[in-house]
Amino acid sequence: MATILSSAGKRLAFLTGLGALVASAALGADQPAKQAFGAVSLPSAGAPTPVGFYAKGCLSGGVPLADDGPHWQSMRLSRNRHWGMPQTVAMLKRLSNDADKLGWGEGILVGDMSQPRGGPMSSGHASHQIGLDVDVWFTPMPKKRLTPQERETFPFTSMLDKSKFLTVDEHRWSKTAAKLVMTAASYPDVERIFVNPAIKKKLCETWTGDRSVLGKVRPMYGHDEHFHIRLTCPPGMASCKAQAPVAAGDGCDKSLAWWFTPEPWAKPKKDPNAPPPKPPRPMMVSDMPKACSALLSAPAAPGARAQGVSTTPVSKATSSAEEEAGDQPMQ
């Protein structure tokens, strides 16, 4: 009698098949992972599945966020980084509708999600590798629909007063911005939200609504021009490695105060007699979960289309300083 595989069984069978598909080829073709995954423009076929950890993994069966929705616009299309798990896409649609109701412009501007098959990126992020991370800009969606080229150069908006140390710009930050961040934090499948320490401090000082989810909002370097939303590993997906849960409480404690001391910002001391440091070894495909190596050569999803890959890419002059520096939200 035929056996009907459960959805979890289908995912396991798919990943097992991937491992056998190109195991021998992968061993002889190791390369930097960000180079390998950045070169793939289409998602793989198969059930949407996150593989590995947020900062060391890949994405099978990624689904795209459309360039435009009723209350969102996807930005920097040339990067081809608007792929993720269905849960991520659904969350963004929900947040965009809530943003419109809050009066956050016409909705949200969506920054980087993941690459078509996840994995490390050539620039900008240490995480965003398994389809469960996304950046939402601290710039409300304008009324006009931006052209693809305008989306490459549309400026970021920092929420900081750059003339002062870790201070929110009172002319840019608003109660609506606070409501938007806290609305996202209230969603059960949102695991963490990363913001600049100054923004976290501002929320701690001024938020008068439900503070039970304020602990999800975590201080992190950069993140003054966007907030980074991270979803939990979907239930029943053993291939997804969860992050340790956030500590109890609202996070408005000594862990936040630490960011306002010299320690996080101090440059490492250099020994003038020491030889020049060697460049860090890049993450190789062989360093990643075995299924990720196979995923690189897996067939593309039928009918999949790359996003804006022929558009002129973002230059350093127009890209976020935080993205250039690197995004390492592992708190």
**What is the model's pLDDT at position 133?**
98
Question: Is residue 28 a part of any domain in this protein?
Answer: no
Domain membership flag for residue 3? no
Element (H, E) at 176: helix 175-186
Q: Which helix (H) or strand (E) holds 137?
A: strand 133-137
Here the CATH number for the domain that contains residue 300 is 3.30.1380.10
Using alpha carbons, select from 300, 283, 262 the residue that is nearest to residue 127: 283
Residue 277 lies in a domain: no
* CA 120 – CA 128 distance, rounded (Å): 8
Cβ neighbours around 204 below 10 Å, total: 17
Which amino acid appears at position 175 of this protein? K
Range of the domain at 300: 50-259+283-308
How high is the pLDDT of residue 153? 97
Domain assignment present for residue 181? The answer is: yes
- Max CA pair span of the chain: 74
Q: Give the integer Cα–Cα distance in Å for 288 and 60.
A: 14
Low-confidence ranges of the chain (pLDDT < 50): 1-10, 12-28, 309-326, 329
Q: Structural domain tally of the chain?
A: 1
Residue at 292 is within a domain: yes
Tell the burial category of 251 from Cβ atoms under 10 Å away from its Cβ (0-12, 13-18, 19+): buried
Which residues does 254 contact at the CB level (< 8 Å), separation at least 6? none
Q: What are phi and psi of 161, to 5 degrees?
A: -90, 100
22-40: pLDDT as tens digits: 443 444 469 999 999 999 9
> What are 115-125's pLDDT values in tens digits?
999 999 988 88
What does the alpha-carbon distance between residue 13 and residue 15 come to, in Å, rounded to a whole number?
6
| Per-residue pLDDT, 308 | 64
The pLDDT value recorded for residue 317 is 33
User: Residue 314 domain-assigned?
Assistant: no
Using CA atoms, how far apart are residues 41 and 305, in angstroms rounded to an integer?
Answer: 8
For 70-85, what is each residue's pLDDT tens digit? 999 999 999 999 999 9
Spatial distance between the Cα atoms of 24 and 210, rounded to a whole number of angstroms = 54
Tell me the torsion sign for CA atoms 143, 148, 154, 156. positive
Q: Is residue 44 part of a domain?
A: no
Q: Is residue 321 part of a domain?
A: no
pTM: 0.86
